[in-house]
Amino acid sequence: MVAVAGKVAVVTGGRRGLGAALVDELLARGARKVYSTARAPYVDDRPEVVTARLEVRSEESVADFARGAADAEIVFNNAGVLLPAPLLTGELEGADEMFDVNVFGPLRVTRAFAPILAANGGGAFVHMHSVLSWLAGSGAYGASKAAAWSLTNSLRLELAAQNTQVVGVHAGFIDTDMVAAIGQPKAEPAEIAARIVEGLEAGEAEVLADDVTGRVKAALSEPVEHLTFSATG
């Protein structure tokens, strides 16, 4: 388990939505510094927040950012993208982008920061998945999140030797711009952020951040055709 107080954290995609809520929660729990990234430069006036441009699709961008954040102890791989991309009829470019951001993005960041965390005592990675990791019906996005879930579970084993905690987070729909068009009940970002950080500090390997995610995880032993999702509820 990793306590947040006094630590240096990284939040990718920290400018808005859940990422912004994670930055707020980390500061509220006493983080010493938070690196908050976005695809474009932006300003945060709080002295504990260091903003940075990061493109997780670029190995060069990730490497440059990691060199400037060599004091990091906790990394939240939160940056993600949701595009309309049905598997049969959607543009493959959209599917490619989602896999590049949602799967290979966290892998690039983890590969860059793993030696940094090892040098700084072990620390933790926290990866954002989705309830859609387990439900059919969301096209390439769900497929990318299922792949991200598998990625995290394997990285947990590989990083155990350097005493690095790896937390996988599954959540339903959060009230952010990303899912504004989906007709489902949505949780407040601050509520989900608090549950994520609580799980990190409790030493959990997996955080089920809301009730719907808990119900879906419990249903994984049911017939696979029951595990489907409808955007309209």
- What domains can be seen in the chain, in order of their start residue? 8-226 (3.40.50.720)
Q: Which token pair is 59?
A: 């190995």
Residues 159 and 114 sit within 8 Å (Cβ to Cβ): yes
Answer whether 189's CB lies under 8 Å from 20's CB: yes
The band of 154, judged by pLDDT with boundaries at 50, 70 and 90, is: very high
> Per residue in 13-70, pLDDT tens?
999 999 999 999 999 999 999 999 999 999 999 999 999 999 999 999 999 999 999 9
Neighbours of 194 (CB within 10 A): 18
pTM above threshold 0.85: yes
> For the residues 163-190, what does the mean pLDDT come to?
78
- pLDDT above 70 as % of the chain: 93
Predicted local confidence at residue 232, as pLDDT? 40
pLDDT, mean over the chain: 92
pLDDT beyond 70 at 233 = no
Q: Which two tokens stand for residue 22?
A: 């994670």
The helix (run of H) or strand (run of E) holding residue 188 is none
